[in-house]
């Protein structure tokens, strides 16, 4: 596993659990608003954290932690991901996977092996603006649609989430997202927050009133949509 970050305790990354977070390197998207630019663009030059060391720490923290969130970058690009998750399950941990959904075959394989307990899939934008938000001109939507449908039908606890970014999103995007994902699935609308690690600086956040207006649009189709991290 290409591990470039390890947070020993988090109350935010795995809903309902005290967890640790593992950050993998590399991504197949180039979202301009991504705050983990180093993990996406420069992972080959970042110091690696030995997998064995992470496992040792997690073994010591059994009883304090109940879950591990594996995020990135894009974790499904890691060839050793199934073996790493098997080690987490052997230790008795629940596993949450964060993904952009571009490798549905990997999600299905991990689920079939009983290695996942929760999946969070980023929905970058509406289908008509997805490529721009993901940073690729000719992005194929088919794998993303396949992963979204998998989450809606596989029976695993999951969530969809979108980071709203001024300059990339408009009200119509949220109507189209709602129509696409229509149903009772948990969905979270998050606000863009600038950081030093963002891939393309210059974006701004929507204000709370604007986010609440987007939420009203979404709830027409997704009654379990909510704001996250917005005060």
Positions in the chain short of pLDDT 70: 44
Query: Residue 101's CB: how many other CB atoms inside 10 A?
Result: 23
- The β-bridge relationship of strands 3-10 and 19-24 is antiparallel
Domain map of the chain by residue range?
A: 3-163
Q: What confidence score (pLDDT) does residue 39 get? A: 86
Considering just the CA atoms, what is the radius of gyration of the chain in Å? 17
Q: Dump pLDDT digits (tens) for 50-77.
A: 999 999 999 999 999 999 999 999 999 9
pLDDT digits (tens, 9 = 90+) for 90-114: 999 999 999 999 999 999 999 999 9
Q: How many CB atoms lie within 10 A of CB 209?
A: 7
Q: Which of 66, 59, 119 is nearest to 94 (CA)?
A: 66
pLDDT at position 207: 96
Q: What three-state secondary structure class fits 199?
A: coil
Whether this prediction's pTM lies above 0.75 is answered by yes
Please give the angle made by the CA atoms of 4, 36 and 61, to the nearest 5 degrees: 45
> How many helices, marked H, and strands, marked E, lie in the chain?
8, 8
Look at residue 188 in the predicted model and tell me its pLDDT. Answer: 98
Q: Which pLDDT does position 231 carry in this prediction?
A: 76
Residue-wise DSSP of 9-32: EESSSSTTS-EEEEEE---S---T
Classify domain 3-163 by CATH architecture: Alpha-Beta Barrel (3.20)
> Between β-strands 118-122 and 19-24, what pairing exists: parallel, antiparallel or unpaired?
unpaired
Provide the pLDDT for residue 79.
96
In angstroms, the CA 142 to CA 160 distance is 17
């Amino acid at each position: 596993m290409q591990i470039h970050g390890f947070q020993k305790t988090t109350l935010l990354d795995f809903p309902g659990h005290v967890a640790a977070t593992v950050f993998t390197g590399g991504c197949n998207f180039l979202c301009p608003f991504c705050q983990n630019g180093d993990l996406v663009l420069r992972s080959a030059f970042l110091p690696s954290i030995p997998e064995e060391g992470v496992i040792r720490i997690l073994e010591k923290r059994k009883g304090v932690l109940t879950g591990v969130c594996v995020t990135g970058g894009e974790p499904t690009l890691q060839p050793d991901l199934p073996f790493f998750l098997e080690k987490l399950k052997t230790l008795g941990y629940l596993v949450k996977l964060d993904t952009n959904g571009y490798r549905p075959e990997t999600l299905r394989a991990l689920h079939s092996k009983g290695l996942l307990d929760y999946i969070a899939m980023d929905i970058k934008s509406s289908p008509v603006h997805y490529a721009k938000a993901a940073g690729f001109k000719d992005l194929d939507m088919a794998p993303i649609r396949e992963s979204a449908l998998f989450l809606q039908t596989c029976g695993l606890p999951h969530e969809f989430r979108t980071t709203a970014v001024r300059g990339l999103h408009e009200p119509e995007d949220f109507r189209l997202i709602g129509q696409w994902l229509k149903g009772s699935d948990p969905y979270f609308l998050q606000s863009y927050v600038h950081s030093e690690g963002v891939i393309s600086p210059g974006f701004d956040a929507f204000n709370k009133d604007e986010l609440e207006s987007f939420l009203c649009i979404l709830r027409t189709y997704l009654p379990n949509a909510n704001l996250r991290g917005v005060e």
